[in-house]
Structure 1
Amino acid sequence: MDNRPLVIFAALFVTTQAVSIASPPFSSCDTKAYPPDPKDAVPVYTVNLDLPPKERWVELVSAKKVEIAGLIDDVKNLTLTLLGEKLFNFIINNLDKVAASLPHPYDEEVVGIASAADMLVAEITLYNIFYEAFTFCTSIIMQDPDGNLYHGRNLDFGLFMGWDPKKHVWRVAELLKPLVVQLKWQKGGKTVYESINYAGYVGILTAVKQGKFTFSFDERFKANGGFVGILEWILFNDHNQKWVSFLTREVMENAESYDEAKSLLSKTRLLAPVYFILGGAKPKEGSIITRWRDEFRTVDLWSKESDSGSWYLVETNYDQWTSPPFFDDRRTPAVHCLNAGGQKNASLELIYNVLSTRPILNKLTTYTSLMDVNHGMEAWLRSCGDPCWPW
């Protein structure tokens, strides 16, 4: 596996002393974080899919326009620093072209969001493609002794994106938190599925289709990652590849079973490598689909390659058949805490407590979501007081 991007980031981190904070080693599992504080619950909005695409996001984006503008200004400045002026300007100067080439209805939705936010289409496009390359996550699927499945995830975002040495936080992660919302996607007045989104982001990162399947995706770091796909989209008009979060939205809207969702997530050509974490409605329906851009490999809940070979799966941002790097090992404490909890205690409570254990919970964590395929989902904003791991 190619860990060069993370190694470079880690070296930069240490060399520049960008983060002046003590990061304690893993010591114990959090067993008392659940239930979450109700004041941290994210607000709920509706996306009416019966409306024209340009009108679907007006209510939500109008309510969050100030926060969206503040985030995008920061993202532009930090992206310039990360990519360098030449590559940054090339991408920025082609964002209108990217927006026009997005598949329907996303092209029109982006235009509608830009209008509601009083921003440029290019800026909203940057906001919507940024997640193809910069997310860190932890996802867990577990099964209790009665065969009930539970799914949870932390979404971490903003590594090396504006460290505040006084407040000990990542600036982009903090700017994202006010934008976290729970969406009910409706047709004909009925909810088709639910998701946890950042306001104005039209793709799907975390979702549940009640009675059918639950879903999350985690970034997979490879040399031919998201930026390569974006450049191919721009330079070679290679539009036969799918934007990851657009594919996942199509799966949520159209797939009617765990098996159908698994097939679509496994076989569709992608713009970026990724891990799809999929849970079903029946016992043993749990899988991590490790995607190259054109190929896939699946680790199922009961396969020999799974972390436990039995009742749970854990995915961070590294292949199941390799060891995570020493500077970002969230898998080992997650596995330890799940084993300590035991299958007899498998529940949303156990998942939340594990996801609240440091460094699984860290300075990048924007939200924790819990999903029960039969009852829906909830999410809460997260913070990690010092001493806390920066990632």
Structure 2
Amino acid sequence: MSGRRNSEMMKRLPMMVHSINKKSRGRKTSVFSEVVVCCTQTKMSRLAFCIFLTSTVTIVSTQYVPPYTEECRTGMYPPQGPTFKGAVTWYTVDLDLPPSKRWAALMSEKKDEIASMIKVIKDLADAFVPSGKLIEFVDSILPLIVDTLPYPFNEELKGIAAGSGVPLGEVTLFNLFYEVFTVCTSVVAEDSDGNLIHGRNLDFGLFMGWDMKNKSWMITEKLKPLVVNIDFRRSNHTVFKSTGFAGYVGMLTGMRPHSFSLTINERFSMDGGYIGIIEWLLHHRDAMWMGFLTRTVLENSTSYEEARSMLSQTKLLAPAYFILGGNQTGQGCLITRARTQSLKPLELNLKQGRWYLLQTNYDHWKEPLFLDNRRTPGMKCMNQTLQPNISFKTLYDVLSTKPVLNKLTTYTTLMEVSKGKLESFVRDCPNPCMPW
């Protein structure tokens, strides 16, 4: 498809989805035929677009609601009610131990949950490739990749496989997922006293097994029991804290107390994580896995400035957004990363009225995709909150407002660097709720 025709298609997409959804109200069986007609009439040459449109219309039609938004939530903190599934448990990882031993205690406790989640992934893979060849590839080829990964992550993955009883190839696959499937909302804000508050919703599992009966994502629901808070310690002192998933050695959400806080969001790009992974397999290994980079930054950087420099300059396997908060007024930035460079960095600027930065999964200088506009509702709620009122309480309210909270949301994390404070909560999004 030419660039011009592709642009015209994207302009027509909102009308197409609206028309299909309207026609199919009360007749779910007609959805697929309507999509086929749309794809045929537009002479589309990109199968991926038709797959995306089919998935979108199918899921939206099962919800029987338009893109669902609501008034900004209030009074949600302390967490309670149907959107709250429980506080996240704390564990300790001793960095003085050999890498293969660091995760043993956690794996002993979470091995059944990891096995359950891996089974769902295998079932989804078998649905796409019924011969079982895909899982055979995972179990035979992916273990060979582990030794090419940087130390200590390669040894930690081997330890996780040994401790959980899950084959090494499947543990590796679990870790690779986060390079390409993370969809999130992150906010860093400065209160009137100059303190930085950093929050995020971690959304994961897009297009990975939609449960028509329960109106939920299978992988998302299997990940929720794996959410853990981890205190990484060396010489019996905290180095950094994080919220993540048991079995994953990279970092998506973390804080180095009294220094900086960090979250990562996926950046959709044609030069995406798949390209970087393929290059790695072809022995082009001068780039960094983004989860390993954030872990390295949290473990080794001692200041906001050092962290910002590493996140801005390191070559990556996948494009990403890094949202960084510091411990002094004005220390907050959004780093938009291509694989080899930083693009249009954005920083807090109180003189210009920019007391917060809110990032989803679209470049800040572009409009978000109309099917996935969490930015506008999120900014509306932040603007209503006002800087003098920003706190854990009010930021949790923002992150609890649909569609910022959605069917993909696994957990919400709140961090305050100056106090070394990190709180995380497993979430749920009762119907009606957007699938993403």
For Structure 1 versus Structure 2, the TM-score category normalised by the shorter chain is over 0.9
Supply the AA of the counterpart residue of 2:379: V
Q: Give per-residue Cα distances to partners, 1:153-197, cap 9 Å, x unaligned.
A: 000011111111121111100000000000000000011000001
Partner of 2:13: none
1: distance between equivalents of 2:291 and 2:233?
18
Q: Aligned match of 2:225 in 164, 178, 183? A: 178
Count of paired positions: 387
1:204 corresponding residue in structure 2: 251
**Is 1:193 matched with 2:240?**
yes
**2: distance between equivalents of 1:215 and 1:31?**
26
Alpha-carbon deviation of 1:83? 9.0
1:13 touches 1:19 (CA, 8 Å); kept in 2?
no
For the residues of structure 1 that align with 2:369 and 2:136, how far apart are their CA atoms? 32
Question: What is the CA distance between 1:76 and its match in structure 2?
Answer: 3.0
Question: Which residues in structure 2 correspond to 1:259-338 (within 5 Å)?
Answer: 259-297=305-343, 298-302=345-349, 309-338=353-382
Please report how far the alpha carbon of residue 78 of structure 1 lies from its aligned counterpart in structure 2 after TM superposition: 2.7
Pair member with larger Rg: 2
- C-alpha distance in 1, partners of 2:69/2:258? 36
Query: What SS does the aligned partner of 2:233 have?
Result: strand
> SS in structure 1 opposite 2:63?
coil
Where in structure 2 are the equivalents of 1:219-234 lying within 5 Å? 219-234=266-281
Deviates more, 1:339-348 or 1:355-364: 339-348
CA pair 241-264 structure 1, distance change in 2 beyond 3 A: same
- What are structure 2's unaligned runs of at least 5 residues? 11-45
1:103 and 2:146 aligned? no
1:131 corresponds to which of 178, 192, 202: 178
1:74-132 deviation line (CA, Å, top 9, x unaligned)? 12333566799888876664311211111111111111100111121111111111100
Alpha-carbon separation, structure 2, partners of 1:17 and 1:367:
22
Distance 1:377 1:175 in 2: 23
User: 1: CA distance between counterparts of 2:365 and 2:48?
Assistant: 19
Q: Label 1:54 to 1:21 Cα distance change in 2 as closer, same or farther (>3 A).
A: same
Return the alpha-carbon distance in structure 2 between the equivalents of residues 106 and 149 of structure 1.
31
Partners of 1:43 and 1:181 within 8 A in 2: yes
Structure with higher helix content: 2
Partners of 2:93 and 2:102 within 8 A in 1: yes
- One-letter amino acid of the structure 1 residue matched with residue 284 of structure 2: D
Match of 1:29 in 2: 72
Give 1:21 deviation, angstroms: 1.3
Residue of structure 2 aligned with 1:121, choices 163, 168, 173? 168
Structure 1 segment 342-353 matched on structure 2, within 5 A? 342-353=386-397
Assess, with a 3 A threshold, how the Cα gap between structure 1 residues 347 and 7 changes in structure 2: closer, same or farther. farther
Where does structure 1 differ by over 3 angstroms across 4 or more consecutive aligned residues? Answer: 1-10, 14-19, 22-25, 79-93
Matched, 1:68 2:110: no
Q: Report the AA paired with residue 325 of structure 1.
A: L
TM-score by length of 1: 0.93
Alignment RMSD (CA, Å): 2.4
Deviations 1:342-381 (A, max 9, x none): 1121111111000000000001000000000022201000
Letter of the structure 2 residue corresponding to residue 109 of structure 1: E
TM-score scaled by structure 2?
0.84
User: In the alignment, which residue of structure 1 is the partner of 2:290?
Assistant: 244
TM-aligned CA deviation for residue 19 of structure 1? 6.1
Contact 1:363–1:384 (8 Å) recurs in 2: yes
Closer, same or farther in 2 for the Cα pair 1:5/1:315, shift >3 Å?
farther
